[in-house]
């Protein structure tokens, strides 16, 4: 498979076989993640590999009762981590202050780039993947369970395993709606949006056996009309992050 074709066929997998991932392959996936771009060479991330069944079950519950968290071959909690670098500076007698917003952004972006490298590498080896944003449903409970120190927060979870399903890829926005040239333009092309809403509705009808028929515009109404995880700002600032 050509590499671009692989990227275009990305989809989330939520059903996995019981086949384990060989240790050599797992280490290569981790190294692929580590090879991602990192701002200021900070490498401001940590992975918590969850191998204990009881911990997996607790995380599945904390993520919103997502069973595949407990069932996939490998589950990682991907953390933005400014604690390690701060400790290294302190041990060297160098002053540090990890409470700045830009540092928080860098750590979050670093974590996302690392995980996406892992996902692409995993899919190239025939594995299925699924990001778990629900890890932020109960971030304090997750942090307590995993004994995360201050200046570290769980950004998302990541399921890896051999797929036991073959879902279609979700249709993405047409290029004219998000690709601009030289300056920002509100490319709200009514016909393009109308067709895209139809495509998304048909995708959901096919995937759910006509049990769901939601357009993208309707989804965005829900996304933008209510506050999502309002606890996150207080949680982050209590951990010393994004304070100024």
Per-domain residue ranges of the chain: 3-168, 175-213
Report which secondary-structure segment, H or E, holds 79.
strand 74-81
What pLDDT does 211 receive? Answer: 77
The Cα 159–Cα 154 span in angstroms is 14
What Cα–Cα distance (Å) separates residue 237 from each residue in 39, 101, 130, 145, 151? 22, 10, 28, 19, 9
What pLDDT does 241 receive? Answer: 96
Divide the 244 residues of the chain into consecutive groups of 10 and give the mean pLDDT of each group: 91 97 98 98 98 98 97 98 94 90 97 98 98 98 98 98 96 91 81 93 84 90 91 96 92
Pick the CATH number of 3-168 from 3.40.50.920, 2.60.40.10, 3.40.109.10, 3.40.50.620: 3.40.109.10
What Cα–Cα distance (Å) separates residue 209 from each residue in 171, 198, 205? 17, 16, 6
Angle (nearest 5°) at CA 76 between 72 and 77: 135
Q: How would you classify the pairing of strands 45-49 and 74-81?
A: antiparallel
Q: Cβ contacts of residue 88 below 8 Å, gap of 6+?
A: none
What pLDDT does 208 receive? Answer: 72
The Cα 190–Cα 155 span in angstroms is 35
What pLDDT does 1 receive? Answer: 60
């Amino acid at each position: 498979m050509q590499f671009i074709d692989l990227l275009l066929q990305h989809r989330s997998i939520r059903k996995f076989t019981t086949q384990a991932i060989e240790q050599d392959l797992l280490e290569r996936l981790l190294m692929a993640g580590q090879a991602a771009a990192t701002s200021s060479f900070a490498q401001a991330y940590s992975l918590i590999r969850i191998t204990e069944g009881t911990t997996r079950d607790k995380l599945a519950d904390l993520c919103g009762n997502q069973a595949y968290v407990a069932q996939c071959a490998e589950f990682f909690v991907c953390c933005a981590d400014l604690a390690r670098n701060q400790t290294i500076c302190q041990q060297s007698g160098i002053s540090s202050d990890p409470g700045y917003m830009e540092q928080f952004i860098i750590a979050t972006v670093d974590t996302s780039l690392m995980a996406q490298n892992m996902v692409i590498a995993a899919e190239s080896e025939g594995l299925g993947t699924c990001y778990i944003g629900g890890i932020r449903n109960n971030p304090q409970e997750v942090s307590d369970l995993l004994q995360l120190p201050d200046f570290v927060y769980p950004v998302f979870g990541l399921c890896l395993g051999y797929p036991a399903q073959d879902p279609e890829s979700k249709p993405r926005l047409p290029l004219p709606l998000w690709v601009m040239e030289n300056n920002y333009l509100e490319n709200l092309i009514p016909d393009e949006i109308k067709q895209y809403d139809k495509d998304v509705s048909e995708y959901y009808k096919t995937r759910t056996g006509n049990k769901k028929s939601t357009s993208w515009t309707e989804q965005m109404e829900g996304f933008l009309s209510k506050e999502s995880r309002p606890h996150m700002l207080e949680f982050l600032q209590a951990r010393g992050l994004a304070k100024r």
